[in-house]
Amino acid sequence: MDKAMMTVSLEEENEPFDMPNLPQFRSSVRNSMSLVGRLLNPSCQKMASLILDMPRKWKKYDKVHTHNKWALSLEIWVKSLPVDFLQHIPLWVQISNLPINRYTAEAISALVDLVGKVTDVAFDPTKP
């Protein structure tokens, strides 16, 4: 194999391969119930150990999945991948012990902007 690798040249131009649009080249039916995941810190997370560890974690419903103390992005397999597939994890962040004199929508929005992109602040100043 080393000899074969040494004969490979980066300057050679390979012919592009056009994938045929035939049923035997599609995995839509087989993968319809699959999950696709992405390690968010691959320098600390190893895919091999994740594959061995995940069956134990499947029983965690409505939880953030983690591996080696880092988050793991999981999505249901789809036929056409969106541009931002597995790039974001929606999180619900609950803030506690906020001083009472800071109970304003503006103060809370400024605080949660530190976390990342905020789409909704569930704050009603008329409720405790």
pLDDT exceeds cutoff 70 at 3: no
Encode pLDDT of 39-75 as tens digits. Answer: 878 888 888 887 777 777 666 555 557 767 777 777 8
Q: What is the pLDDT of residue 31?
A: 78
Main-chain dihedrals φ then ψ at residue 72, nearest 5 degrees: -130, 125
Q: What is the pLDDT of residue 45?
A: 82
Q: Mean pLDDT, to the nearest integer, of 110-126?
A: 77
Q: Is 29 helix (H, G, I), strand (E, B) or coil?
A: coil
Assign 2 a pLDDT band (cuts: 50, 70, 90): low
∠ CA 52-71-97, rounded to 5°: 140
The Cα 65–Cα 71 span in angstroms is 6
pLDDT exceeds cutoff 60 at 25: yes
Q: What is the pLDDT of residue 106?
A: 84
The pTM for the full model equals 0.47
